[in-house]
Each structure stands twice: as C-alpha cells, then as structure tokens.
Amino acid sequence: MTLTEQDIRQWDQTLQQATPRKLLEEAFSRFDNIAISFSGAEDVVLIDLAVRLRPDVRVFTLDTGRLHAETYRFLDQVRERYRIDIEVMFPQAEAVQKLVTEKGLFSFYQDTHHECCGIRKVEPLKRKLATLDAWITGQRKDQSPTRTDIPLVQLDTGLAAPGRQLVKFNPLANWSSERVWDYIRGNEVPFNSLHERGFVSIGCEPCTRPVLPNQHEREGRWWWEEATKKECGLHAVNLRE
C-alpha cells in the first residue's frame, strides 16, 4: 500500500478528533508490519492501550549502553506487566569502539550530541525501521519547540529505508504531560522510578538530569545545547518540517 503526501495529510485531518485508542485501531487495521518504539512514560501508555487491541503487539527499544540502571529495570517491569516481548536494538560495537577510542566517552559535551546519538541511537533505529512498514511513537506537541507541529500520522521520509515507504503514527501528539500522567496514575501503568526524583524526559545517563520547578521538561536533556536543536535524530523529520 503506497500513500501519497496528500493521502497522509487528508488522513491526518480526519483523525484530529480521534482518541489515541482510535488512532491505534486505524494503524493496526492498515498495517500488520508495525511496531511501537518504547522508551518512556508516553510509550507505556501506548502499550497499555495497544495490548487491549492486539495482545501480541510488537514493541522495540534502543539500548545505547549508557542508560540509567533504573531504565533497565523499568524495561523489565513493562515486559512482565504486559507479558510482551520487547526487542532490544543495540549499536554496532565497532562504531562505538571507534568513537570512544578517538574522542573518549564524553565528546558530546564539546561537539554536540549528534555524533554519539547517530551511532548509539539513529543507526540501530534505522536498522529496525528498515524491517517495518509503520511505527508508533509517544511524541507530544508540547514536549519541545521542534515538536509543536507534529501530526498524528505522517510519512517518515527521514528514516525510511531506500526505496521503501515508512508511515509514522503519533497517537499522543495532542495530549499534554498532565493528561499522560493522569492516565498513568488512573490505570496504574508502570513508570521509570527516575520520575520520582525530578527526571521528566529521560535519555542516556550523561545527557539527562532532573529539572527544577517551572522548567520545561526538555531542559533536562542536552542542557548545554540550544533548545531548538534538541532532537537526537530519532525524530529528525521534526527539524526539517
């Protein structure tokens, strides 16, 4: 099934009033070869909704090798709670070894996070997405300046494999952080224990810190860089759009 940009825009418009559950239903009805990308609180909300529709929903995550210990425990909690397999994608060892040998373990503090994220996150993600027709993310419009215009459904031209079309769903795009956490508390959804210590947006340990009251959640990520550049490459299409 090949979709044009116009097809996607029209589909996105018809879904603007749809609930995340309804959007997931649409996604699953259109695509069999589809998976949820899992890392944080929003993604577990999606898993909680998805398993009610498709108990064998496919889920994958990226292990950069630099995650918090709490994050690894969180992954197992989700796996056990929903009785699902979570496919873990790892970076290429040779590329990591070359970066560390040439630049050390913390080069991103001097020359931006993009090279490290490219090796540890983007390449493994592209490798996984090359096997899929569509993927589902927990992006929200209010997460950062680079995400204010994200649609509910879009063509992912940035991460699609050559010669293939990749459709991306963002069912929680119109939700706020407050609504996400209302759902988590109301449905006793598992969450990363780091949230109880002031961490809001959680990534790799060297690039993540708690935020202070009234700080935006993304201020805890790559705090040494300018706010409009805080994408690691997983959602690079946001920067171009």
Rounded-to-10 torsion of CA 88, 176, 231, 11 = 80
**Is the CB of residue 201 less than 8 Å from the CB of residue 161?**
no
Cβ burial of 45 (10 Å; 0-12, 13-18, 19+) is: buried
CB contact at 8 A, 79 and 89 = no
In contact, 166 and 27? CB cutoff 8 Å = no
**Enzyme catalytic residues:** 232
